[in-house]
Amino acid sequence: MKLDGKVAIVTGGAMGNGLGIVKMFLKYGADVVIIDYSDQINVTIQELKSPKVTGYKADIRDVDRLQKIVKDVIAKKGKIDILVNNAGVARLDKFVDMSDEVRDLHFDINIRGTWNITKLVVPFMVENQYGKIVNLSSVTGPMVADSGEVAYATTKAALIGFTKGLAMELVDYHINVNAIMPGYIMTPMVEGIAKDSNQVDPSSVIKGIASGIPMKRLGTIEELGELAAFLASDEASYITGQGIVIDGGSTLPETMSVGA
Ligand SMILES: NC(=O)c1ccc[n+]([C@@H]2O[C@H](COP(=O)([O-])OP(=O)(O)OC[C@H]3O[C@@H](n4cnc5c(N)ncnc54)[C@H](O)[C@@H]3O)[C@@H](O)[C@H]2O)c1
């Protein structure tokens, strides 16, 4: 299988897209280490019922803790082949209303957290002359945006710059760095956005989102996980520095008034 013998770290793997990625990595034979700050991590690991998955309850903003975790993973597994920077947050609010705390929450988790764990893992990849880094960006920021998404969009666009810059620096060490740019994937994050939208029925918000997507549905975490598994595999060996869109065609329409 395409990830046999590989050791992967997936941040935010307790639920949502991260869980989809963990499931697909296990399906393709990888050893998976989840880092997540939610208590759900223990439930998820139990439910996955696989000897190949372990985890650490930790916040990716806590550099000291990350340092200990990376050291521990290396001591136990001997290497880190794959790093998926999936942990991220989205709290929607208008630019003029958004507190500095909420702005910084996005910057600290989505950008600094990703930066910090990557900086700790890269030296081991360089030493091995091998690595696959996959960053969860979004179509939000690099391609599109809705009202209330300024902070989130800023961080997700930043991750494209991060991906490209790092890809150039690491190319000589046989390390591929790519980004996934999802449209709407059905996860607790999207459910939360629907609940916070002040609509009486959050499911009507999800239906409204689906109706605007050419495929008329949101993506699944398994579909997202399949793309991550491909980018983390040697089958994607000639791809680096790219942002791959997975959005059911949501960014495709050229003329909004013309249906499919
Ligand atoms: N769901 C979508 O439609 C969508 C679209 C585009 C991009 N994305 C990106 O995909 C990634 C995952 O999104 P999701 O929808 O699955 O979100 P989610 O909120 O459903 O799950 C995120 C997971 O990350 C963990 N996490 C968050 N901050 C953390 C931190 N500081 N330290 C450790 N763990 C942390 C959470 O506990 C949770 O398990 C994010 O980076 C998000 O921006 C999602």
100-136 pLDDT, tens digit per residue, is 999 999 999 999 999 999 999 999 999 999 999 999 9
What is the helix (H) or strand (E) element at residue 152, kind and residue range? helix 150-170
Exposure letters 9-20 (e unless 16+ CB within 10 A, then b): bbbbbbbbbbbb
Q: Which residues contact 236 (CB under 8 A, 6 or more apart)?
A: 132, 176, 178, 230
Ligand 1 centroid to residue 18 C-alpha, Å: 7
Ligand 1 close to Cβ of residue 220 (< 6 A): no
Residue to mutate (ligand 1; options 63, 84, 89; most atoms within 8 A of CB): 89
Indicate the pLDDT class of residue 31, thresholds 50, 70 and 90.
very high
The protein residue with its alpha carbon nearest to ligand 1, atom 29, reads: 87
The answer to whether residues 161 and 259 touch, using CB atoms and an 8 Å cutoff, is: no
Model pLDDT for residues 54-78, shown as the tens digit of each residue: 999 999 999 999 999 999 999 999 9
- Taking Cα atoms as reference points, which of 89, 215, 112, 98 lies closest to residue 159? 112
Query: Which atom belonging to ligand 1 lies closest to the Cα atom of 113?
Result: 31
At 29, which amino acid appears? G
The pTM (predicted TM-score) of the whole model is 0.98
- Taking Cα atoms as reference points, which of 62, 118, 63, 57 lies closest to residue 86? 118
What is the helix (H) or strand (E) element at residue 34, kind and residue range? strand 31-36
User: Can you give the pLDDT at residue 199?
Assistant: 75
User: Can you give the pLDDT at residue 45?
Assistant: 98
- Taking Cα atoms as reference points, which of 24, 39, 28, 22 lies closest to residue 5? 28
**Domains and their CATH numbers in the chain:** 7-246 (3.40.50.720)
- Report percent pLDDT > 70 for the chain: 99
Ligand 1 close to Cβ of residue 59 (< 6 A): yes
User: Can you give the pLDDT at residue 260?
Assistant: 55
State how far the alpha carbon of 124 is from the alpha carbons of 7, 83, 147, 172, 177, in Å. 12, 11, 41, 14, 15
pLDDT at 25 over 70: yes
Model pLDDT for residues 80-108, shown as the tens digit of each residue: 999 999 999 999 999 999 999 999 999 99
The answer to whether residues 41 and 30 touch, using CB atoms and an 8 Å cutoff, is: no
- Taking Cα atoms as reference points, which of 26, 34, 33, 35 lies closest to residue 4? 26
Ligand 1 centroid to residue 49 C-alpha, Å: 22
The protein residue with its alpha carbon nearest to ligand 1, atom 34, reads: 36
User: Can you give the pLDDT at residue 258?
Assistant: 66
SS3 for 198?
Answer: coil
pLDDT at 182 over 70: yes
State how far the alpha carbon of 211 is from the alpha carbons of 200, 203, 250, in Å. 18, 12, 10
Ligand 1 close to Cβ of residue 239 (< 6 A): no
Catalytically active residues, by annotation: 152
Ligand 1 close to Cβ of residue 10 (< 6 A): no
- C-beta neighbour count of 95 within 10 angstroms: 11
Q: Number of helices (H) and strands (E), helices first, in the chain?
A: 9, 7
The protein residue with its alpha carbon nearest to ligand 1, atom 32, reads: 59
Ligand 1 close to Cβ of residue 116 (< 6 A): no
Ligand 1 close to Cβ of residue 187 (< 6 A): yes
